[in-house]
Amino acid sequence: MDAKMMKVVQIVTPVLEVLSTLFVFMIGLIVLVVVVTFIFDITQRKNAILRNYPVIGHFRSIFSNLGEFFRQYFFAMDREEMPFNRAERDWVHRAANNVDTTVAFGSTKNLNLTGTVLFANCPFPTLDEESMATKAIIIGKGFCKKPYKAKSIFNISGMSFGAISKPAVLALSNGAKMANCWYNTGEGGLSPYHLEGGADIVFQIGTAKYGVRDKKGKLSDKKLREIATHNQVKMFEIKMSQGAKPGKGGILPSAKVTQQIAQIRGIGVGQDSISPNRHVEVNSTTDLLDMINRVREVTGKPVGFKTVIGATAWLDDFFQEINKRGEAQAPDFITLDSGDGGTGAAPMSLLDNVGLPIKETLPLLVDKLNQYNLKQRIKVITSGKLITPTGVAWALCTGADFVTSARGFMFSIGCIQALKCNKNTCPTGITTHNKRLQKGLNSKNKTIKVANYVNNINHAVEIIAHSCGVKEPRELNRTHIRIVQNNGKSVLMSELYPQT
């Protein structure tokens, strides 16, 4: 053996001895862990699986936790996952990145399912040169001091600073400004990050009245005026109920209540932020109208309310009271949420079972407004899983004036539907205040994606409108939609829901 080889052997031998020792140590450690786990499992009394199947029973929990991450990649088909399937998420992702949203070969959507929406294309579609720009709508014109000229059909629904992170709010507010749409603050109050982007803001007054409450938690006229002094704040929305949890107030776990969030909301640091399940001063439709008019009088800006419909008789009482008082007393808009809406945290009993879906309640609300001759006075904003052009165009056909989305915009800035919104462990940095996880969310980059998403939604809705033979999306109506029935045949929506 030559000198070089001897030198190599002298170097390698100690390394191999160390590795061998480490290997033996690791094997011993693994054996020790298995033995200790076995003893613990077989002697504990709380878990039958672990007692009957010590050690290996832990793999059930591991696989169950990993399943929610891998299911969407390996097992779920394009159109079957909930709450949003892969086809929907992929469309938003491509739209946000402003890449080609066309697909090849054929649709993967089952067009024969009951309730499927089919747009009735015109034999002579509108030529591109004949089309018109989507008209802006003025909300509150003639009824408040500072009406709002809303330019975009598609806008950002309520997402509180607290429920989502600082970089997420910055991305949304800057993107909204770039796309000329509005951004709803959610019930967590107005943060500096909402204002920093320069976007039009809808300030939401939740049941806890964060940001506009006095020391006793009651609505403060002084703080309402302070919020209204911000020129960016264009409207006020009184949150009556939310689609994901009707009859339950907002829930922000203590882990997400930082010092800054606590200061904005007016609560203690590190405490669960639990909003009352309704506004304590609103006991009737009369009280609701009183609150709407109080906020409008104090702020001088359009005021409406957000609700999800379950019971329906109150709508007649509400609209009759408006007609009794006069149109000036009416809300400037109603935001209709869906029973399958989203949230950061909600009891499953409410999430799954309470509140009617938007496909049933939007036609109902629009028809009631027409019945009482209030449709021109009260604008209709709707939300609830309407994250693709199909959903937005359907809402316009049904009678909505605007569509808002929260989860669609979360997808646009990188949400992967990990279902960890309430855990402060969101892997994309959107719904966490963990600084390490937030580093992955570049707000400047995501700003462009937000604007792309809005612009591509609006453009795609215009394409549907032109296919149906109208010049701009708000000319769509119920004669432009067919809905598949139980027998497999479709019927015009105008026949199912004839407008009065």
The three-state DSSP-derived secondary structure of 462-476 is: HHHHHHCCCCCHHHC
Q: Is residue 89 part of a domain?
A: no
The residue range of the domain holding 68 is 3-75
- State pLDDT tens for residues 208-250: 899 998 888 899 999 999 999 999 999 999 999 876 667 667 7
Handedness of CA 163, 431, 245, 454 (dihedral sign): positive
* Widest Cα–Cα separation across the chain: 108
Question: What is residue 262's predicted lDDT score, i.e. its pLDDT?
Answer: 81
Residues 374, 426 within the same domain: yes
CB 174 within 8 A of CB 199: yes
When pLDDT is cut at 50, 70 and 90, the band that residue 73 belongs to is low
pLDDT of residue 8: 59
More confident residue, 269 or 486: 486
Burial of 33 (0-12, 13-18, 19+ CB in 10 A): exposed
146 and 69 fall within a common domain: no
Q: How confident is the model at residue 463 (pLDDT cuts 50, 70, 90)?
A: very high
Q: Which residue has the higher pLDDT, 324 or 73?
A: 324
Residues 273 and 376 in one domain: yes
The predicted model gives 76-89 an average pLDDT of 66
Domain co-membership, 51 together with 164: no
* 124 shares a domain with 53: no
Residue 409 CB partners (closer than 8 Å, separation 6+): 156, 157, 159, 172, 450, 453
- Could you tell me if 39 and 31 are in contact, meaning their C-beta atoms sit under 8 angstroms apart? no
**pLDDT above 90: percentage of residues in the chain:** 49
Q: State the pLDDT at residue 489.
A: 93
Which tokens sit at 478?
């119920």
Domain assignment of residue 110, yes or no: no
Residue 77 has pLDDT above 60, yes or no: no
247 phi-psi bin (left φ>0, alpha ψ -120 to 50, beta other): left
Q: What's the mean pLDDT in 325-335?
A: 97
Please indicate, yes or no, whether residues 135 and 192 belong to a single structural domain of this protein. yes
Instruction: Give yes or no: residues 204 and 322 share one domain.
Output: yes
Q: 327 and 215, same structural domain?
A: yes
In the chain, the number of structural domains is 2
The total number of residues shown for the chain amounts to 500
Is residue 478 pLDDT above 90, yes or no? yes
Q: What are the tens digits of pLDDT across the range 385-405?
A: 898 999 999 999 999 999 999
In a domain, 323, yes or no: yes
Work out whether strand 379-382 and strand 333-337 pair parallel, antiparallel, or are unpaired.
parallel
Whether residue 184 has pLDDT greater than 80: yes
Give residue 164's pLDDT.
Answer: 87
- Predicted local distance difference test score (pLDDT) of residue 3: 66
Residue 141 to residues 136, 147, 150, 290, 338: CA-CA distances in angstroms?
Answer: 12, 5, 11, 20, 27
Q: What is the mean pLDDT of the chain?
A: 86
Q: Is the pLDDT of residue 92 over 80?
A: yes
Q: Is 246 part of any domain? A: yes
pLDDT single digits (tens) 34-59: 888 888 888 887 776 677 778 887 77
Mean pLDDT within 466-471: 94
Average pLDDT (174-192) is: 94
| Ranges 271-275, 279-283, 439-443: which has the least confidence | 271-275
**pLDDT of 454 higher than 70:** yes
Question: Is the model's pLDDT at 345 over the cut of 80?
Answer: no
Grade residue 2 by pLDDT with cuts at 50, 70 and 90: low
pLDDT above 80: residue 17: no
Domain boundary among 44, 75, 106: 75
Query: Among positive and negative, which fits the CA dihedral 124, 126, 129, 130?
Result: positive
Which has more pLDDT, 351 or 132?
A: 132
Q: Can you say how many angstroms the Cα of residue 12 is from the centroid of all Cα atoms in its chain?
A: 59
pLDDT of the residue at 351: 63
Count how many Cα atoms sit within 13 Å of the Cα of residue 68 in the half-sphere of its side chain. Answer: 11
Measuring CA to CA, how many Å separate 496 from each of 47, 114, 484? 53, 14, 11
Lowest mean pLDDT among 45-49, 75-79, 254-258, 477-481: 75-79
Lowest mean pLDDT among 110-114, 184-188, 407-411: 110-114
Asked, for residue 363, whether it belongs to a domain, the answer is yes
Does residue 86 belong to any structural domain of this protein?
A: no
User: Is the pLDDT at 70 greater than 70, yes or no?
Assistant: no
Q: Are residues 32 and 172 in the same domain?
A: no
Q: Are residues 64 and 125 in the same domain?
A: no
Residue range 468-482: average pLDDT? Answer: 94
- In 3-state terms, what secondary structure has residue 353? helix
Q: What proportion of the chain, given as a percentage, has pLDDT over 70? A: 89
Q: Where are the alpha helices (DSSP H) in 210-283?
A: 221-228, 259-265
Are the C-beta atoms of residues 173 and 198 closer than 8 Å to each other? yes
Residue 124 sits in the same domain as residue 255: yes
Contact 292, 302 (CB under 8 A): no
Average pLDDT (292-306) is: 97
Whether 92 is covered by a domain: the verdict is no
Give the pLDDT band of residue 474 (cuts 50, 70, 90). Answer: very high
Residue 108 pLDDT > 90, yes or no?
no
Q: Are 161 and 342 in contact (CB under 8 A)?
A: no
Q: What is the rounded average pLDDT of the residues 25-30?
A: 86
pLDDT recorded at residue 53: 73
CATH code of the domain in which 129 resides: 3.20.20.70
pLDDT at 1 over 60: no
Tell whether omega for the bond before 83 is within 30 degrees of 0, i.e. cis.
yes
Higher pLDDT, 494 or 75: 494
Pairing assessment for the beta strands 233-239 and 148-150 based on DSSP bridges? unpaired
Decide if 247 is inside a domain. yes
Whether residue 357 is predicted with pLDDT greater than 80 in this model: the reply is: yes
Nearest one of 254, 249, 278 to 186, comparing CA atoms: 249
Phi, then psi, of 4 in degrees rounded to 5: -65, -45
- Please write the tens of the pLDDT for every residue from 113-160: 888 899 999 998 999 888 888 889 999 999 999 999 999 999 999 988
- Same domain, yes or no: 204 and 349: yes
Give one word for 385, left, alpha or beta, with left for phi > 0 and alpha for psi -120 to 50.
Answer: left
Between 294 and 1, residue with greater pLDDT:
294
Cα dihedral sign for 460, 461, 466, 468?
Answer: positive
